[in-house]
Amino acid sequence: MRKKVFQLIVDNTSGVLSRISGLFSRRGYNIESITAGVTADTRFTRITIVASGDDEILDQIEKQVAKLVDVKDVKALEPENSVYRELALIKVKTSKELRQGVISIADIFRANIIDVAQDSLIVELTGTQDKINAFISLLGDYEILELARTGIAGLGRGTENVTYL
């Protein structure tokens, strides 16, 4: 089992996301995260999917996804020549005494404090999944009340193989 990140360019039509997620569930493929957003050309949506499986399964995922009528392009984003980012919002329970500790950890990770309440604060962190995981584990001494992660978005580096906008 290994992970692979796929970048899809799909027609921005209704139902396209359900067609893609339906394909994963009915063929029993593991999907770890899926993010979607319109590209600079509003006719298209860029979807980043993180999937896991053995090599044959990952190969089938790529082919089956490519076969969907709405999919214009699919390619694997290999780690060595791509960048991935994920955004996480983390609500931490903080008393007056504990607050400074959380803020210092956030500073080290260049995370932002985007909301402060009497007994909690919300930290916003963008980075690779490893960075976010490391940050969350460092917060182990505190109580995490809520956590929202977006799943990763990715792009290939450089101007070679630019798929579409």
Q: How far is the CB of 49 from another protein (least distance, A)?
A: 16
**Helix/strand/coil for 91:** strand
Q: Compare residues 70 and 124 and give the one whose CB is closer to another protein.
A: 70
Residue 121: Cβ-neighbour burial (10 angstroms; 0-12, 13-18, 19+): buried
Q: How far is the CB of 10 from another protein (least distance, A)?
A: 7
**Residue owning tokens 């394909």:** 23
Q: What phi-psi label fits residue 64: left (phi over 0), alpha (psi between -120 and 50 degrees) or beta?
A: alpha
**Residue owning tokens 């001494």:** 141
Q: How far is the CB of 151 from another protein (least distance, A)?
A: 23
Helix (H) or strand (E) holding 82: strand 82-93
In the structure encoding, which two tokens stand for residue 48, read together? 């980043």
Q: Compare residues 76 and 87 and give the one whose CB is closer to another protein.
A: 76
Q: How far is the CB of 3 from another protein (least distance, A)?
A: 20
In the structure encoding, which two tokens stand for residue 128, read together? 């690779």
Residues forming contacts to another protein in the complex (CB under 8 A) are: 10-11, 14-15, 18-19, 22, 26, 43-44, 56, 59-60, 63-64, 66-67, 69-72
Q: Compare residues 3 and 63 and give the one whose CB is closer to another protein.
A: 63
Report the distance separating Cα 41 and Cα 22, nearest Å. Answer: 25
Q: Compare residues 56 and 80 and give the one whose CB is closer to another protein.
A: 56
Q: How far is the CB of 11 from another protein (least distance, A)?
A: 5
Q: Compare residues 10 and 139 and give the one whose CB is closer to another protein.
A: 10
